[in-house]
């Protein structure tokens, strides 16, 4: 029997400390017309790719993976499928920042000095992006993705060892449970990361059952996997606010960045409560000290929900260009739902 090897071309990037692995070649064209259809095919029939690149010995669950695919929308220059420890989020701010940076820096999308518009197609729809390019380098990315809306407020769940935990449920590309950290005696600093991860894990396990899994336009979006811990808000002047924030991704990951979708969810909840207005911004600060800026744009409508458009601004750094070899005969590689999605010929 011939030895079975495949190769994948990757660009590793990081935004706010969260690593995104951009898969640029080595994967067969996926069935489906839209990026959403391609993502659901991969989730159903090709999840081995996600597990391979996010598990030892090839990767780590704290990473993310973004597979570049053909877009369906005529405005989009590329499509991308997002894969994380929890599965397949339909949109992600940090992954969009990383993907756009990688496509520009690699020349896949020709880069222009100054402010440059880019449109990418995520499974949730179009991400409209402004890249700031200085000296041939992408210095920042501002992305407008999914409008966020408050789905439920004032919910509670009994969490073992923690008691009653109050939370609000917000959609911003995924459903987020929004928890006021101080209400439960937690800070959001480097020394709090282990405690926040433990609370996030216990909370998600207790809260998942019975929570909404449907989006009015995108259908079934899966069980709750994201928790956003919010710290106190500080007014820093001229319509700018600042707040420590931390996002937990089930199972077991506390993001190094404050996360784009977490920040968008925070903006929607604050706008609902009259704490922020159109044109004002919130700078979220992660336990590691990395920062994203979310800016309120204006109202939208998602089904029957009043929603909020916002932008997220952050930066990404290139870390590595690599070609990895996938040995399908390696007992550590589960090829059962992987082999058919990998290109039979070596990636060029």
Q: What is the pLDDT of residues 241-290, one digit of tens each?
A: 999 999 999 999 999 999 999 999 999 999 999 999 999 999 999 999 99
pLDDT at 209 over 90: no
Is residue 177, in this structure, part of any structural domain at all?
yes
Q: Which of 225, 223, 224, 270 is nearest to 245 (CA)?
A: 270
**Which stretch of 139-143, 170-174, 213-217, 315-319 has the lowest confidence by average pLDDT?**
213-217
Instruction: Name the CA radius of gyration of the chain, rounded.
Output: 20
Backbone φ and ψ for 281, nearest 5 degrees, come out as -130, 155
Please report whether residue 157 resides in a domain. Answer: yes
111 and 195 housed in the same domain = no
3-state secondary structure of 329: coil
Q: Is residue 96 part of a domain?
A: yes
Please tell me whether residues 183 and 79 are part of one structural domain. no
User: Does residue 347 register a pLDDT over 50?
Assistant: no
Give the domain range for residue 131: 5-144+318-341
Out of 125-129, 206-210, 224-228, least confident range: 206-210
**Both 37 and 122 in a single domain?**
yes
Give the pLDDT confidence score for residue 73 in this predicted structure.
Answer: 96
Stretch 118-133: mean pLDDT, rounded? 97
Same domain flag for 337 and 298: no
**pLDDT value at position 4?**
86
Q: State whether 121 and 258 are in the same domain.
A: no
- For residue 346, being part of any structural domain is answered with no
Strand ranges inside 89-221, DSSP E: 114-122, 125-134, 137-144, 149-159, 163-171, 175-180, 214-215, 219-220
Question: Tell me: the pLDDT tens digits for 83-109?
Answer: 999 999 999 999 999 999 999 999 999
Q: Is the pLDDT of residue 3 over 80?
A: no
On whether the CB atoms of residues 170 and 257 are closer than 8 A, the answer is: no
Same domain assignment for residues 159 and 178:
yes
Give 348's pLDDT tier (boundaries 50, 70, 90): very low
In a domain, 294, yes or no: yes
CATH number of the domain where residue 129 is located: 3.10.310.10
The alpha carbon dihedral of 105, 110, 114, 117 has a sign of negative
Please, what sign has the CA dihedral across residues 126, 312, 30, 109?
positive
Residue 137 within a domain? yes
Number of domains the chain is built from: 2
The predicted structure's pLDDT at residue 145: 82
Same domain membership, residue 52 and residue 172: no
Active site residues: 92
> Distance from first CA to last CA of the chain, Å, rounded?
25
Residue 348 lies in a domain: no
Work out the mean pLDDT of the chain and round it to a whole number.
94
Q: Say if residue 95 is in the same domain as residue 216.
A: no
Q: 172 near 266, Cβ under 8 Å?
A: no
Q: What is the pLDDT of residues 316-342, one digit of tens each?
A: 999 999 999 999 999 999 999 999 999
Q: Are residues 335 and 186 in the same domain?
A: no
Q: Is residue 347, in this structure, part of any structural domain at all?
A: no
Residue range 15-43, pLDDT digits in tens: 999 999 999 999 999 999 999 999 999 99
- 194 with 188: CB under 8 angstroms? no
Q: Is 310 found in the same domain as 327?
A: no
Q: Are 133 and 188 within one domain?
A: no
**In terms of domains, do 266 and 130 share one?**
no
Give the pLDDT score at 2. 60
């Amino acid at each position: 029997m011939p030895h079975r090897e495949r190769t994948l071309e990757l660009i590793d990037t990081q935004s706010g400390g969260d690593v995104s692995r951009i898969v640029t070649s080595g994967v067969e064209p996926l069935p489906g017309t839209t990026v959403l259809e391609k993502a659901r095919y991969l989730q159903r029939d090709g999840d081995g790719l996600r597990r391979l690149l996010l598990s030892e010995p090839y990767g780590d669950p704290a990473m993310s993976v973004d597979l570049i695919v053909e877009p369906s929308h005529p405005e989009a220059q590329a499509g991308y499928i997002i894969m994380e420890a929890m599965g397949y989020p339909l949109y992600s701010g940090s992954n969009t920042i990383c993907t756009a940076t990688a496509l520009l820096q690699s020349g896949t999308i020709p880069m222009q000095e100054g402010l440059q518009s880019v449109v990418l197609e995520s499974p949730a729809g179009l991400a409209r992006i402004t890249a700031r390019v200085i000296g041939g380098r992408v210095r920042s990315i501002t992305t407008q993705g999914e409008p966020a809306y408050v789905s439920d407020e004032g919910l509670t769940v009994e969490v073992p060892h923690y008691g009653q935990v109050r939370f609000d449920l917000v959609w911003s590309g995924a459903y987020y449970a929004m928890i006021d950290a101080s209400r439960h005696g937690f800070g959001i600093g480097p020394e709090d990361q282990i405690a926040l991860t433990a609370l996030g894990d216990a909370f998600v396990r207790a809260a998942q059952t019975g929570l909404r899994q449907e989006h009015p336009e995108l259908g079934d979006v899966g069980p709750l996997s994201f928790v956003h811990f919010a710290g106190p808000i500080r007014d820093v002047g001229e319509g700018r606010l600042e707040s420590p924030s931390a996002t937990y991704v089930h199972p077991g990951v506390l993001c190094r960045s404050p996360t784009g979708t977490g920040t968008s969810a925070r903006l929607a909840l604050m706008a609902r409560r009259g704490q922020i207005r159109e044109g004002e911004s919130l700078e979220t600060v992660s336990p590691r000290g990395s920062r994203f800026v979310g800016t309120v744009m204006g109202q939208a409508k998602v089904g029957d929900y009043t929603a909020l458009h916002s932008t997220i601004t952050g930066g990404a750094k290139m870390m590595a260009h690599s070609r990895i070899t996938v040995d399908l005969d390696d007992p550590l590689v589960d090829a059962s739902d992987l082999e058919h999605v990998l290109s039979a010929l070596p990636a060029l």
